[in-house]
Amino acid sequence: MPTAARLVAGVLLAILAWILSDLVRPLMPEGTAFGWFNYVNAFIGLWVGWVVMGRRAGRGFVQGINNGLTGVVMLFLWCLAAHSCWEMFRLAMRNRYDGPMEAITAIFLIGSEFGVMIATAPVLGTALVGALIIGPAADFAAKHWR
């Protein structure tokens, strides 16, 4: 069911995902073709904000902060999973894997490499500030706009 809290959480998390995507671009290897990188991350942010954060909004300020932190962690995990799967698929089309199990296990290796690559102070700091803003904003929307 659409609510103001779901809309606020989804839109704000999509904006945060776009900002974080722009911060991540310089950290990737030179020559990386990004294509729809920002758009995919923004869509995942919209989805995570709507489904995860929007459902849990309206339980108080402290829970709102926890909700924001949970939403940002879920955003990171889903974006890492999506881009790791895409990278595995790209490499699989170039016959880099001997079998399907090797390709599936490569998803986790690629995801861990991406995670280490983007774990920098500007990215994590921006994510933390975003979480501290988005969680209470969704809580405010749940309480005041019904």
pLDDT digits (tens, 9 = 90+) for 88-131: 999 999 988 888 999 999 999 999 999 999 999 999 999 999 99
* Per-residue model confidence (pLDDT) at position 107: 94
Determine how many CB atoms are found less than 10 A away from the CB of residue 143. 16
Domain count, the chain: 1
- Domain of 136, in residue numbers: 4-144
Show the DSSP H helices in the chain as ranges.
4-24, 37-48, 54-56, 61-92, 100-118, 121-144
* Per-residue model confidence (pLDDT) at position 1: 77
Q: What angle do CA 131, 137, 141 make, to 5 degrees?
A: 145
* Per-residue model confidence (pLDDT) at position 130: 96
Question: What is the C-alpha to C-alpha distance for residues 117 and 77, in angstroms, rounded to an integer?
Answer: 14
**Residue pLDDT, tens place only, 21-70:** 999 999 988 888 889 999 999 999 999 999 999 888 888 999 999 999 99
CA dihedral 43→47→50→52, nearest 10 degrees, is: -140
